[in-house]
């Protein structure tokens, strides 16, 4: 199937979008692998299941494969799992000047939903994906039935965090993006998980081997520049899910707990002995929490 359309979406001109789809038939399920063009990006995504649309957004140094342990949720909803531009199978055809803003990636997801004729969804974002989700909730609230943070925060970067990201950009220039990911990715996991599953962590690092340095640096710039969006939580009339790890140093539990009272309706799940990667570290508990959220919103909508 091919679609071409053009227009101006919230100030960003989209001159050409073409989508293609490949249906992979397995023994027990169907996987739809699709892609479309948006501005200077070729965006790949997977769709599985039927029912309410649930968009899962990955974080920095990851691709959509980070959600593989959550694929079983397709029995209860229509999962949409993109690779953000510059990660995984999603590439830039040329340098995108807006790629150093979180809002650009929110606009990409808006274009994806329009491409699929989806007018309502649940959106959940891990880490940087949570920042994109919140930017989306601010700009396109009419498209959301609920949204959530998986180890993420509505706070802006502190000055210390901004300095650390700037050092990261410089280290990528000096040593390359793969060396940077190899050094930083293990710190996202709990000590217990690192000891018990070194191969899984290495597989995540290796998946990032093809990520461009420019893309990773743009992600850091986008995160550095993003504003505090706690007002979006405070003004939200739809349910918000918070997944929090007790050992998470990237999105510390004490920071996130300061935000959970802001939405009118909040679902809060604290994962014990879990750091920043609950999708792998506590996949069954995380899946149960997400499924509870999906069912609650399905019953109410």
Task: For the chain, give every domain's residue range.
Answer: 7-154+230-300
Sign of CA dihedral 211, 214, 216, 219: negative
Q: Please give the full DSSP string across the chain, using - where no structure is assigned.
A: ------EEETTEEE----EEEEEEE-SS-EEEEEEEEETTEEEEEEEE-SSSEEEEE--TT--GGGGGGGGGGGGTSEEEEEPPTTSTT-EESS--GGGGSHHHHHHHHHHHHHHTT---EEEEEETHHHHHHHHHHHH-GGGEEEEEEES--SSPPPHHHHHHHHHHHHHHHHH-HHHHHHHHGGGGS-HHHHHH-HHHHHHHHHHGGGS-HHHHHHHHHHHHHPPP-HHHHHH--S-EEEEEETT-SSS-HHHHHTTTTSSSSEEEEEETT--S-HHHHTHHHHHHHHHHHHHHHHHH-
Which CATH code, of 1.20.120.330, 3.40.50.1820, 1.10.3720.10, 3.20.20.20, is assigned to 7-154+230-300? 3.40.50.1820
Reading the block at residue 291, the tokens are: 């499924």
CB atoms within 10 A of CB 264: 12
pTM: 0.91
Helical pair 128-139 and 102-115, crossing angle rounded to 10 deg: 70
CB atoms within 10 A of CB 117: 7
pLDDT at res. 210:
83
Strands 41-48, 30-38: pairing kind: antiparallel
> How deeply is 43 buried, as exposed, middle or buried, from its count of CB atoms within 10 A (0-12, 13-18, 19+)?
buried
Strands 19-25, 53-57: pairing kind: unpaired
CB atoms within 10 A of CB 21: 12
Give the span between the Cα atoms of 53 and 145, in whole angstroms.
10
Give the span between the Cα atoms of 268 and 247, in whole angstroms.
16
Q: Tens digit of pLDDT per residue, the chain (301 long)? A: 333 333 333 333 332 334 444 444 443 446 799 999 999 999 999 999 999 999 999 999 999 999 999 999 999 999 999 999 999 999 998 888 999 999 999 999 999 999 999 999 999 999 999 999 999 999 999 999 999 999 999 999 999 999 999 999 999 999 999 999 999 999 999 999 999 999 999 999 999 888 989 999 999 999 999 999 999 999 999 999 999 999 999 999 999 999 999 999 999 999 999 999 999 999 999 999 999 999 999 887 6
pLDDT at res. 30:
61
């Amino acid at each position: 199937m091919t679609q071409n359309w053009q227009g101006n979406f919230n100030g960003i001109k989209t001159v050409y979008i073409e989508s293609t789809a490949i249906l992979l038939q397995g023994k027990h399920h169907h996987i739809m692998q699709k892609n479309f063009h948006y501005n200077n990006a070729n965006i790949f995504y997977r769709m599985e299941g039927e029912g309410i649309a649930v968009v899962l957004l990955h974080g920095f140094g990851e691709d959509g494969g980070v959600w593989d342990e959550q694929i079983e949720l397709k029995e209860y909803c229509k999962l949409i799992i993109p690779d953000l531009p510059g990660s995984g199978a999603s590439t830039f055809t040329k340098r995108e000047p807006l790629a150093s803003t979180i809002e650009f990636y929110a606009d990409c997801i808006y274009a994806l939903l329009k491409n699929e004729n989806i007018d309502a969804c649940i959106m959940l974002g891990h880490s940087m994906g949570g920042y994109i989700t919140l930017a989306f909730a601010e700009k396109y609230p009419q498209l959301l039935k609920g949204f959530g943070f998986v180890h993420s925060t509505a706070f802006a970067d502190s000055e210390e965090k901004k300095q650390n990201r700037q050092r990261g950009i410089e280290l990528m220039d000096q040593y390359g993006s793969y060396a940077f990911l190899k050094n930083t990715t293990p710190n996202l996991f709990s000590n217990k998980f690192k000891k018990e599953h070194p191969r899984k962590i290495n597989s995540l690092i290796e998946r990032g081997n093809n990520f461009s340095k420019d893309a990773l640096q743009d992600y850091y710039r986008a995160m550095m520049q993003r504003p505090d969006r706690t007002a979006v939580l405070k003004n939200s009339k739809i349910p918000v899910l918070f997944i929090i790890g007790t050992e998470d140093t990237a999105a510390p539990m004490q920071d996130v707990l300061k935000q959970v009272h802001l939405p009118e309706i909040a679902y809060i799940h604290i994962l014990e002995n879990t750091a920043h990667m609950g999708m792998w570290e506590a996949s069954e508990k995380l899946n149960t929490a997400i499924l509870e959220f999906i069912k609650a919103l399905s019953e109410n909508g």
